[in-house]
Structure 1
Amino acid sequence: MSSSPQSLRLAVIGSGPAGVYAAETLLRSEAVKSGRLEVQADIFDRLPAPFGLIRYGVAPDHPRIKGIITALHRILGRGDIRFLGHVEFGTDLTIEDLREHYDAVVFATGALKDADLDIPGIELDGSYGAADFVAWYDGNPDYPRTWPLEAEQVAVIGNGNVALDVARVLSKSADELLRTEIPANVHEGLAAARTTDVHVFGRRGPAQAKFSPLETRELAHPKGVQVVMDPRDIEQITEAQWEAIRADKRTDQVVQTFVNWLEEQQRREAAGEEPTDHHGGPVTRRLHMHFWHRPVEVLGEDGHVTGMRFERTRLDEEGRLEGTGEFVDYELQSVYRAVGYFGSELPGVPYDARRGVISNIAGRVTAADGSVQPGLYANGWIKRGPVGLIGATKSDAIETVGSLLEDLESGQLPTAPERDNDAIVRLLDSRGVEYTTWEGWMALDAHEKALGAAAVDADGQPRARIKVVDREEMVRISREGAPQPTHA
Structure 2
Amino acid sequence: MSSFFCKQCLKTMINSFLSVRSNLFSYVPNVTLACKRYIQTIKVGIIGSGPAGFYTAQALLKDSRVLIDIYEKYPVPFGLIRFGVAPDHQSNVINSFTNTALQDRVSFYGNINIGQDVTLNQLLKSYNAVVLCYGATEDRKLNIEGEDLINVLPARRFVGWYNGIPQDSDLNPFLQTEDVVIIGHGNVALDCARILLSPSTDITNHALTALRESKVKRVYLVGRRGPLQVSFTIKELRELTKLPGCDTIVFPEDFKNITAETINELPRPRKRLTELLLSLANEKNLNNNHKRCVLMFCRSPLQIVGDKHGKVSSVNLGVNRLIQQEDGVKTELTDEKEILKCGLFLRSIGYRAVSIDPSIPLNDKTGVISNTNGKVHGFDFGLYCSGWAATGATGVIIGTMNASFEIAEHILKDFGQNEPLLVEKPGATEIIPHLKSKGVKVVTFNDWQRIDELEKNLGSQLGKPREKLVNQKDMIKAVDEEKD
Smaller-chain TM-score range?
0.7 to 0.9
Distance 1:2 1:398, change over 3 A: farther
For the 8 Å contact 2:252–2:282, the answer to whether it is kept is no
Q: Which residue of the partner structure matches residue 321 of structure 2?
A: 314
CA distance in 2, matches of 1:413, 1:481: 46
CA distance in 2, matches of 1:12, 1:169: 33
Contact in 1 for aligned 2:394/2:400 (Cα 8 Å) = no
Residues of 2 paired with 1:48 and 1:100: CA distance?
Answer: 24
* Distance (whole Å) between structure 1 residues aligned to residue 403 and residue 86 of structure 2: 24
Aligned to 2:362: 352
Aligned CA distance change for structure 1 residues 312 and 79 (closer, same or farther; 3 Å) = same
Instruction: Indicate the structure (1 or 2) with the bigger Cα radius of gyration.
Output: 2
Query: What does 1:120-139 correspond to in 2, within 5 Å?
Result: 120-139=145-164
Instruction: Map residues 212-227 of structure 1 onto 2, 5 A cutoff.
Output: 212-227=233-248
Q: Secondary structure at the match of 1:327?
A: strand
Q: Structure 2 CA distance, aligned partners of 1:409 and 1:417?
A: 15
Letter in 1 for 2:319: R
**How far apart are the structure 2 equivalents of 1:58 and 1:186?**
15
Letter in 1 for 2:376: V
Superposed counterparts of 1:260-299, under 5 Å: 260-264=279-283, 266-267=284-285, 275-276=287-288, 283-299=289-305
Matched residue type, 2:215: R
* Structure 1 residues 425 and 18: CA distance shift in structure 2, 3 A: same
Structure 1 match to 2:102? 77
| Contact kept? 1:375, 1:414, Cα under 8 Å | no
> Would you say the 8 A contact 2:61–2:67 is kept in 1?
no
1:93 pairs with one of 100, 118, 123: 118
Task: Give, in whole Å, the separation in 2 of the partners of 1:27 and 1:417.
Answer: 17
What do the CA deviations read for 1:318-339 (whole angstroms, capped 9, x no partner)? 5543333211111112211111
The residue aligned with 1:301 is 307
Structure 1 residue 167 and structure 2 residue 193: aligned? yes
Q: 1:351 to 1:480 in 2, by over 3 A?
A: farther
Deviation at 1:353, TM superposition (A): 4.8
Shift in alpha-carbon separation, 1:447–1:416, aligned structure 2, 3 A: farther
Read off the aligned partner of 1:324 and give its amino acid letter: T
Q: Distance in 2 between matches of 1:151 and 1:388?
A: 28
Q: 1:116 offset after TM fit, Å?
A: 1.2
Cα deviation digits, residues 445-469 of structure 1 (max 9, x gap): 111111122222xxxxxx2211111
AA at the equivalent of 1:366: H
Decide which of 53, 56, 59 is 2:80's aligned counterpart.
Answer: 53
The residue number in structure 2 matching 1:208 is 229
Q: Find the aligned partners of 1:322 and 1:24 in 2 and give their Cα distance.
A: 44
How far is 1:482 from its partner? 5.3
Any conservation in 1 of the 2:43–2:427 contact (CA below 8 Å)?
A: no
Residue among 101, 112, 130 paired with 2:137: 112
Q: CA distance change for structure 1 residues 453 and 72 in 2, over 3 Å: closer, same or farther? A: same
Percent pairwise identity: 31
Match of 2:13 in 1: none
Unaligned runs of 5+ in 1: 33-37, 269-274, 277-282, 457-462, 484-488
After TM superposition, the score normalised by the length of structure 2 is: 0.85
Number of aligned residue pairs: give it: 443
Distance 1:422 1:312 in 2: 59
Determine which of 146, 155, 160 is the counterpart of 2:181.
155
Q: What is the CA RMSD across the aligned residues, in angstroms?
A: 2.3
Residue 472 of structure 1 and its aligned partner are, at CA, apart by: 0.6
Counterparts in 2 of 1:316 and 1:107: CA distance versus 1, 3 Å: closer
How far apart, in 2, do the equivalents of 1:317 and 1:143 lie?
40
Q: Pick from 320, 328, 344 the counterpart of residue 338 of structure 2.
A: 328
1:237 matched to 2:237? The reply is no
TM superposition shift of 1:313:
2.0
Q: Is the 8 A contact 2:450 2:479 kept in 1?
A: yes
- The DSSP-based 3-state class of the residue aligned with 1:316 is strand
**CA contact 2:152–2:344 (8 Å) conserved in 1:** yes
Q: CA–CA distance in 2 between the matches of 1:433 and 1:17?
A: 25
TM-superposed deviation, 1:2: 5.2
Instruction: Determine helix, strand or coil for the equivalent of 1:42.
Output: strand
**Is structure 2 residue 15 aligned with structure 1 residue 15?**
no
Cα deviation code 1:334-361 (max 9, x no counterpart): 2111111111111243221513222222
Displacement, 1:203? Answer: 1.3
2-structure distance, mates of 1:329, 1:440: 51
Cross-structure match for 2:3: none
1:247 CA displacement: 2.3
- Secondary structure at the residue paired with 1:123? coil
Question: Within 1, Cα distance between the matches of 2:258 and 2:397?
Answer: 34
Q: Given the alignment, which residue of 356, 368, 374 partners 1:363?
A: 374
1:174-215 deviations in Å (ceiling 9; x for gaps): 4xx11x2x2211111211222111111111222221222222
Please identify which structure carries the higher helix content.
2
Residue identity in the other structure for 1:220: T
TM-score, normalised to structure 1's length? 0.85
Q: 1:189 to 1:8 in 2, by over 3 A?
A: same
C-alpha distance in structure 2 between counterparts of 1:8 and 1:417, whole Å: 7
Where in structure 1 do 4 or more consecutive aligned residues deviate above 6 Å?
A: none
Report the Cα distance in structure 1 between the residues aligned to 2:167 and 2:440, rounded to whole angstroms.
Answer: 17
Deviations 1:197-250 (A, max 9, x none): 11111112222212222221211212211222333223x3343xx422222333
Write the distance in 1 (CA, Å) between the matches of 2:146 and 2:78.
35
User: CA shift at 1:120, angstroms?
Assistant: 1.9
Tell me, yes or no, if the aligned pair for 1:150 and 1:194 is still in contact at 8 Å.
yes
For residues 384 and 406 of structure 2, what CA distance do their matches in structure 1 show? 11
Q: Distance in 2 between matches of 1:349 and 1:259?
A: 49
> Which secondary structure does the structure 1 equivalent of 2:381 belong to?
strand
- Alpha-carbon separation, structure 1, partners of 2:121 and 2:249: 56
Deviations 1:294-329 (A, max 9, x none): 222212222221111112223236554333321111
Q: What's 2:351 paired with?
A: 341
| CA–CA separation in structure 1 for the residues paired with 2:66 and 2:285 | 65
- Distance (Å, rounded) in 1 between the aligned partners of 2:403 and 2:281: 41
The answer to whether the aligner puts 1:464 opposite 2:465 as a matched pair is yes
